[in-house]
Homo-oligomer: A and B are copies of this chain.
Amino acid sequence: MSTAVSPTARTLAGPDTPFAVVDVHRTRRNIARLRARADRLGVALRPHVKTAKSLDAAALLHDGGPGPVTVSTLAEAEAFAGAGHHDITYAVGIEPHKLPRVIALVRRGVTVRVLLDSTEQAVFVAAAARDARVALPALIEIDCDGHRGGLRPDAPGLPGIARVLHDAGCLDGVLTHAGESYFCRTAEERRAAARNERDAAVAAAERLRAAGLPVTTVSVGSTPTAHAADDLTGVTELRAGNHVFFDLVMAGLGVCGLDDLALSVVVTVIGHRPEYGWILTDGGWMAMSRDRGTAAQPQDQGYGLVTDLNGTLIPDLVMTAASQEHGTLTARNGAGLPELPIGTRLRVLPNHACATAAQHHGYHVVDGALGPATTAPAIEAYWPRVTGW
């Protein structure tokens, strides 16, 4: 199993395929870009670590030290707390069974904000904080675009939920996520989604403050809106996560370019079906995931675009089908199939970095700043992933 860099696997020609690769140069550049935006907007960053799920990648988020993070699982919370990230928001609605692990983290000195959108949840969080005699700061989820959970900013029940939390010392603030921004088509639509996201969060916060309920955190973010927002007045923090790697969905939206994509999967050619126009590889959906996020975009990129081992795009070659351990590459726009003998290694750029990364135990890391390699790019490091729940 390709779980560590062995002495015989010092380049991308080494490990058995398929395996995930991260270009740390692009990751650094993507992180710096959002950091500069946040600084310009005068807002703190609380990156979501659910995409990379890597302590090594997270070390690049805050200039090498720990910093505020958002997590999608308690396994992430525990792993990141263990590495010194003591300011954590668990951004999935809380349920009672998960509170003991949250409380255990709090007792270790970690701040863990929980998320909720109902009186039912506020009541059991308040009770747990009282019973355990710990701080359980809670964020009320605000629905800005009908994407998933949350309360509309004008929901009748909002002040009552905040009151339950406040009376127990648990009210921290509000949080929203513009999930529908993934379906925007233009930069103007993304800017509008970012304004709407901010307006919803700020309106909810102002409504609570007007009712005498103190709101500290006003948290917004999605990768598309984080890169489009032009004014975040009233917002205290910005969340985004996918930007550490970006992917074809984000490139299709115009949030990034193809040369910003930091995650790819190295695969090997294992067969040819010239009569069908197919090149077969050993990278199927087990390596890429079943995610077909670009299927809903104007340019469907199949299961991914293909580069050579150096990361140079092979024009018009697309991974169009996937079995468990087989990928099918085909040419589009009438392009001929390139000559790729059995054993040739390629890299596939994924639709959705979060989903593709989740299929792997970790990442072999290359540094694109070193320029094209004459043989195969050197492997600089191995970054393991946090897995499970």
Residues of A within 8 A of B (CB): 1-3, 16-19, 50, 72-75, 92-98, 101, 117-118, 120-121, 143, 146, 148-149, 179, 268-273, 276, 280, 282, 285-287, 289-292, 323-326, 328, 341-343, 352, 354-355, 358-361, 387-389
The 10 closest A-B pairs by CB, nearest first: A93-B270, A290-B290, A1-B388, A290-B291, A149-B271, A72-B325, A93-B271, A92-B325, A95-B343, A1-B75
Q: List 26 A-B contacts (CB under 8 A).
A: A1-B389, A2-B389, A16-B97, A16-B98, A17-B389, A50-B325, A72-B286, A73-B325, A92-B270, A92-B282, A93-B282, A93-B326, A95-B343, A118-B272, A121-B342, A143-B273, A148-B323, A148-B326, A148-B328, A149-B280, A149-B326, A285-B355, A286-B358, A287-B389, A290-B291, A324-B355
A40 to chain B, nearest CB (A): 29
What CA separation (Å) do A149 and B269 show in the bound complex?
A: 12
In Å, the complex CA distance between A146 and B287 comes to 23
B residues within 8 A CB of A17?
97, 389
Specify which of B18, B50, B146, B352 is in contact with A276 (CB 8 Å cutoff).
Answer: B146
**Distance in Å: Cβ of A17 to nearest Cβ of chain B:** 7
Please indicate which of the listed interface residues A17, A18, A73 has the most CB atoms of chain B within 10 Å of its own CB: A73
Per a CB cutoff under 8 Å, which of B97, B326, B389 touches A92? B326
A196 to B117, CA, bound (A): 56
Q: In the complex, what distance in Å separates the CA atom of A3 from the CA atom of B78? A: 15
Q: Is the CB of B120 within 8 A of A342?
A: yes
Given A1-B75, A289-B290, A342-B121, verify A282-B95 contact (CB < 8 Å): yes
A359 CB contacts on chain B under 8 angstroms: 358
The answer to whether A50 and B270 touch (CB under 8 A), given A118-B342, A280-B93, is no
Main secondary structure of the interface of A (DSSP, over half): loop
Which of A3, A355, A388 counts the most chain B CB atoms within 10 A? A388
Q: Which residues of B contact A120 (CB under 8 A)?
A: 341-342
- A325 to B77, alpha carbons, bound, how many Å? 14
Q: How far is the CB of A88 from chain B (nearest CB, A)?
A: 15
List residues of chain B with CB within 8 A of the CB of A146.
276
Q: A290-B292, A389-B2 are in contact. Are A268 and B72 (CB under 8 A)?
A: no
- State in angstroms the CA–CA spacing of A216 and B132 once bound together: 69
Question: Which residues of the partner chain B approach A149 to less than 8 Å between Cβ atoms?
Answer: 270-271, 273, 280, 326
Question: In the assembly, what is the distance between CA of A120 and CA of B342, in Å?
Answer: 8
With beta carbons under 8 angstroms apart, the residue of B148, B273, B342 that contacts A95 is B342
The smallest beta-carbon distance between A158 and chain B, in angstroms, is: 14
Which residues on the B side are within 8 Å of A272 (C-beta)?
118
Q: In the complex, A44→B290 CA distance in Å?
A: 33
Q: Quick check: A18 and B389 within 8 Å, CB to CB?
A: yes
Q: Are B343 and A361 touching (Cβ within 8 A)?
A: no
Interchain CA distance A342-B96 in the complex, whole Å? 8
> Are the C-beta atoms of B291 and A95 separated by less than 8 Å?
no
Minimal Cβ-Cβ distance residue in B for A345 = B97
Q: Which residues of B contact A326 (CB under 8 A)?
A: 92-93, 148-149
Q: Which residues of chain B have C-beta atoms less than 8 A from A93's C-beta? A: 270-271, 280, 282, 326, 342
Chain B min CB distance to A192 (Å): 22
**Bound-complex Cα distance A92 to B118 (A):** 50
Q: In the complex the two chains form, is B96's CB within 8 Å of A343's CB?
A: yes
Q: Name the B residues within 8 Å of A290 (CB-CB).
A: 289-292, 352, 355
Q: Nearest chain-B residue to A351 (Cβ)?
A: B290
Chain B residues, Cβ within 8 Å of A18: 389
